[in-house]
């Protein structure tokens, strides 16, 4: 019978193999296009240098009071940009390359493939942001507290809402294809969300990124441990971040079904 031609292991494709392939693909794209990779990193670092040295020239010693917040803000901004763009832009690029339909026909399913892509993008973005953080602290001479047991969970929770937004706009890209200008506008919106005064206007903690950014600043600037933060507010952060992630993924799933029904999954 035809079914005897298939081994049981073939019907259960390995997620580890998928993870290895996507990680290798990500690494190859970074290495084979070094100018693009270096320019993306240097753009963020030069932007920070302009603010730091320009602020010193204009504000002088007054800049010192807000320097810690600027460093942490740029650290989070670099993570948000690379995590969000890595997901949202992947859909557009796969459509341009003509490989989006192949991902959809994967035995894992498009949702699983994009989920693994998200994990890989977050890991690479964290290494990217950590390197930028070290350069910023070395340049300014201001060394902040980096407790991995506190910073990593807070950054992860912060990026969950970013990933949710990435899924949302990735879904829109499945249907409408060219929405690059919207991608770029949202990237500037991250600046406002990261700098949101959550400690003064409490309802801002319900916005994506804002609450996690505030807690990350507290932990890195004041050397506070995550277990010293208010438990009720940590619970709110977990709930809001998870909600944004689930809503974003659901919108991506629905957009995939709509694109398939319209026959525009592989069009660009």
pTM for this model (two decimals) = 0.83
Q: Are 52 and 192 in contact (CB under 8 A)?
A: no
Residue 124 exposure: Cα atoms within 13 Å on the Cβ side: 24
Rama region for 193: left / alpha / beta (φ>0; ψ in -120 to 50; rest): alpha
- Domain regions of the chain by residue span: 11-262
| Residue 94: partners with Cβ closer than 8 Å, 6 or more residues away | 100, 103
Q: Are 102 and 267 in contact (CB under 8 A)?
A: no
Residue 65: predicted pLDDT: 64
Rounded Cα distance, 75 and 62, in Å: 21
Cα 58 to chain centroid distance, Å, stands at 32
Residue 8 exposure: Cα atoms within 13 Å on the Cβ side: 0
Rounded Cα distance, 87 and 186, in Å: 13
Question: Nearest 5°: CA angle at 23, between 21 and 24?
Answer: 65
Burial 43-74 (b: 16+ CB within 10 A, else e): ebbeebeeebeebeeeeeeebeeebbebbbbb
Residue 91: predicted pLDDT: 73
The one-character DSSP state at 200 is T
Rounded Cα distance, 112 and 119, in Å: 11
Torsion of CA 89, 92, 97, 102, to 10 degrees: 100
Q: Where are the alpha helices (DSSP H) in the chain?
A: 15-32, 34-59, 64-97, 100-104, 110-140, 148-176, 180-194, 210-222, 231-262
Residue 25: predicted pLDDT: 85
Question: Nearest 5°: CA angle at 172, between 168 and 174?
Answer: 115
Q: What is the DSSP string of 46-81?
A: HHHHHHHHHHHHHHGGGGHHHHHHHHHHHHHHHHHH
Residue 237: predicted pLDDT: 93
Residue 12: predicted pLDDT: 45
Tokens of 130: 């950590």
Cβ neighbours around 175 below 10 Å, total? 15
Residue 236: predicted pLDDT: 93
CA 240 vs CA 13, 226, 233, 248: distances in Å: 33, 17, 10, 12
Across the chain, which has 268 residues, the per-10-residue mean pLDDT values are 39 73 87 84 86 70 70 87 76 71 74 84 86 90 86 91 87 75 76 86 89 90 87 93 93 84 66
């Amino acid at each position: 019978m035809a079914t005897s031609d298939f081994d049981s292991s073939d019907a259960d494709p390995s997620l580890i193999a998928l993870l290895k392939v996507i990680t290798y693909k990500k690494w190859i794209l970074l290495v084979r296009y070094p100018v693009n990779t270096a320019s993306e990193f240097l753009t963020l670092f030069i932007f920070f240098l302009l603010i730091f040295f320009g602020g010193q020239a204009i504000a002088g010693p007054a800049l010192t009071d807000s320097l810690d917040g600027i460093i942490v803000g740029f650290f989070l901004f670099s993570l948000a940009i690379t995590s969000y763009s890595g997901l949202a832009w992947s859909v557009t690029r796969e459509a341009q390359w003509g490989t989006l339909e192949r991902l959809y026909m994967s035995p894992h399913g498009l949702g699983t493939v994009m989920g693994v892509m998200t994990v890989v993008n977050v890991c690479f973005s964290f290494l990217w942001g950590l390197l930028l953080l070290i350069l910023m602290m070395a340049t300014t001479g201001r060394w902040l507290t980096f407790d991995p047991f506190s910073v990593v969970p807070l950054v992860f929770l912060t990026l969950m809402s970013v990933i949710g937004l990435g899924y949302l706009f990735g879904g829109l890209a499945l249907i409408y294809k060219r929405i690059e200008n919207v991608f770029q506008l949202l990237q500037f919106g991250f600046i406002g969300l990261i700098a949101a005064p959550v400690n003064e206007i409490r309802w801002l903690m319900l916005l994506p990124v804002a609450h996690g950014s505030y807690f990350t600043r507290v932990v890195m600037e004041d050397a506070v441990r995550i277990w010293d933060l208010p438990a009720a507010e940590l619970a709110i952060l977990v709930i809001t971040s998870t909600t944004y992630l689930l809503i974003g993924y659901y919108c991506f799933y629905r957009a995939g079904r709509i694109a398939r029904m319209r026959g525009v999954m592989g069009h660009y």
